[in-house]
Chains A and B, each alone.
Chain A
């Protein structure tokens, strides 16, 4: 049952550890709590892969981390108010695209505040400025293909990765109209495998089902949530079982619904992320010690 020695990626060199943070909207604040524990334990991260709401913590981790509570607070501030303002032109374009700007601007929320907050958060910083390799996942809205963004302006990549279909307009990067990475790869373990990681800490979230969504839009969002949650489970199962890499899942137990505007929940989510990570720390310590011993 053992693999041939020559095909073991972890022998004879040192392991490569990836942190993967999936989509999940505000729930992704839990990743800051996870990072608080991983930093305390000095778990050595070699690369970061993230998607959608996970991109914020992914950026911060790849930038060297630091005070996780302060970073979560910035995430909370950057998220405040961005879901409050309806774009009436966007609504009309969504319902009657032929008459109101075609498909280009489909998205019912006004994204100006979001763009301003993101610019305040990231400025003109680029992937190339970060301490660790960072890969962010978005979806090509026209072809459905996965797009992995690993260079260029962070603002563009993150704006694209969080463009929830029908909620925010797509964002153009290198001539492609990109939307939320959750539409194709809500927990991008595959990218970490492709980049050579052999230990993968995967922080994943199921999206909260919509409540009281009697409107057409509510039903569409409910359907989107169901599809993304099933995609998340299917991809986790496939990529964690089909490859040699060791996937250590961190799945915070969030026993309440978290809507896009529930920014007051961020501190609580940070705590839940830390708690979920504490459960994995013992194994991570033993695993890393064993890999170091075998590499020596």
Chain B
């Protein structure tokens, strides 16, 4: 799994590629924690290149959602592929996390909320 971080105005885009699972969860958590500790709490996770998710990977995302909201921000997810979306839906993520078709929509949503 690889993580690339970029800034779009006040929003931090965390672009993830590969498999979000127990073997990559710590690395993903470190990426989120680094941004949150730096005060960048408005996050967008770009899932366009995420090919797989399992429970450990999703726990990492969920922890970042909780922490960002506790800090006054949010973590929103963009561009989820169909196979991954099925797992996110089954895990309840689509009910509790704001999801968008693309990164641009997810970033601009912060201007509306």
Contacts and interface: CB of A to CB of B under 8 A. Distances in A.
* Co-assembled chains A and B: yes
A251 B23 CA distance: 21
Interface in B14-58: 19, 21-23, 26, 29-30, 33, 52, 54-56, 58
Contact of A246 (B30, B55, B60, B92): B55
A240 B53 CA distance: 12
Q: Main SS of the interface on chain A?
A: helix
Chain B residues touching A, range: 20 to 34
B90 interface: yes
**B interface SS class:** helix
> Range of interface residues on chain A?
20 to 34
Interface stretch (A97-105, A216-224, A279-287): A279-287
A206 to B, nearest CB: 9
Interface string B1-23: 00000000000000000010111
A20 B104 CA distance: 40
B92 A287 contact: no
Interface string B80-97: 000100110111100000
Given A246-B22, A290-B23, A237 B29 contact: no
B79 to A, nearest CB: 20
Contacts of A245: 55
A241 B55 contact: yes
B90 to A, nearest CB: 5
B90 A241 contact: no
B100 to A, nearest CB: 21
A279 B21 CA distance: 14
14 contacts: A1-B26, A1-B29, A1-B30, A1-B60, A236-B91, A240-B91, A241-B58, A241-B59, A246-B22, A246-B55, A247-B54, A247-B55, A248-B54, A279-B83
